[in-house]
Amino acid sequence: MMRLDRTWSRCVRGWILFCVLVCLASWAQAAAPTLSSGPTFTVNPSWTLIAYGDTRFTDPAEQTESNPVARQALVRKIAEEKPGVLLIGGDLPFHGGEVNDYVVYQMETESWREAGIKVYPALGNHELQSRHLGMECKTCLQNWWRAFPELRGRRWYSVRFGEAYIVTLDSNLALGAGSAQSRWLARQLKQLPGGVRYLFVSLHHPPVADPIHGDASHNVRPNEDALARQLEAAAKQISAKIIVIAGHIHGYERFERGGVEYLVSGGGGARPYPIARTPSNLYQDNVFPNFHYVKFVSDGDKLRVTMYRLDNDKFVPGDSFTVSSATASHAGK
């Protein structure tokens, strides 16, 4: 009997040790983005990058909160473009707790995988939402990681893409001074690899934006304003031009402040919002709705940038501009 008790005791201790090791391994995996300073991923440049967001993949029968015709037209057009990298600024599913929304995503974007397009998403608020608003979603992150298994354990990460470096942040979590993401970002900025001319920052909630007509719920928050201050301070110190691309507001906006380019690209298919444009907004066209994507093409010491919007059944240029690398800008002074 005593021998049985000792055996049982060893089994219990072994099980406890196993559980502790599993927990430590899970913690280490989750903490990996915080501890690393180099790029999480490296992609051989082609060199074309496309960005957009707020796609809200869901059952095509849902035609109020998401427009399946526009969403699918954008997917087809992006597949034709064959960018080296595709950034999606969050709210990829309508409800992150619904496995079927990710099934629809996989089905509708099969052409992207056939074209070999590398997709790098940011977490939006809808990725963390249950269909029943206000209820805790215990499976949301697992659903996202299942759709993007290379990101498992990570909520923010970085990508080296030739002369570009991409930092993807999670604006559902703290971004202010002293936060884990702010410290990680500071290390990324401090240790940018040589040859990087452009730093893309991708996230969901915009650091700079005009408000929606009659709706203050999408106004710029202190969380992202703190990020903007960090980036604008960094713009004076680093040799790369910083370009921020966010979503959340279902339209298109463009700003330049503190040496940083700010874009809002939330025209991926979600119900569009009318924007109350201020004079600081460099895009003043109030065309509505504006389902669109933004294309970046490297051209010597600058990027040629074009926003293409859906006009009936074709895509037409809606905005175009160039972004000079920080090195070229300094040389011209």
> pLDDT of 9-35, one tens digit each?
443 344 343 333 334 333 333 444 445
Tell me whether residue 124 is in a domain. yes
Tell me whether residue 198 is in a domain. yes
Tell me whether residue 34 is in a domain. no
106 closest CA partner among 125, 89, 93: 93
- pLDDT lower than 70: segments of the chain: 1-37, 133-135, 327-333
Q: Which domain holds residue 146?
A: 42-331
The number of distinct structural domains making up the chain is 1
85 closest CA partner among 110, 109, 121, 57: 121
Distance between CA atoms of residues 123 and 144, nearest Å: 9
Can you give the CATH number for the domain in which 277 is found?
3.60.21.10
Which residues lie below 8 Å from residue 186, measured CB to CB, with a gap of 6+?
A: 230
Neighbours of 169 (CB within 10 A): 27
Tell me whether residue 231 is in a domain. yes
φ, ψ of residue 144 to 5 degrees: the values are -65, -45
**pTM of the full structure:** 0.87
Tell me whether residue 286 is in a domain. yes
Burial of 134 (0-12, 13-18, 19+ CB in 10 A): exposed
Tell me whether residue 259 is in a domain. yes
296 contacts 277 by C-beta, under 8 angstroms = no
Q: Which pLDDT score is estimated for 328? A: 54
Instruction: Note the pLDDT tens digit of each residue in 55-67.
Output: 999 999 999 999 9
Distance between CA atoms of residues 248 and 250, nearest Å: 6
Tell me whether residue 36 is in a domain. no
Tell me whether residue 60 is in a domain. yes
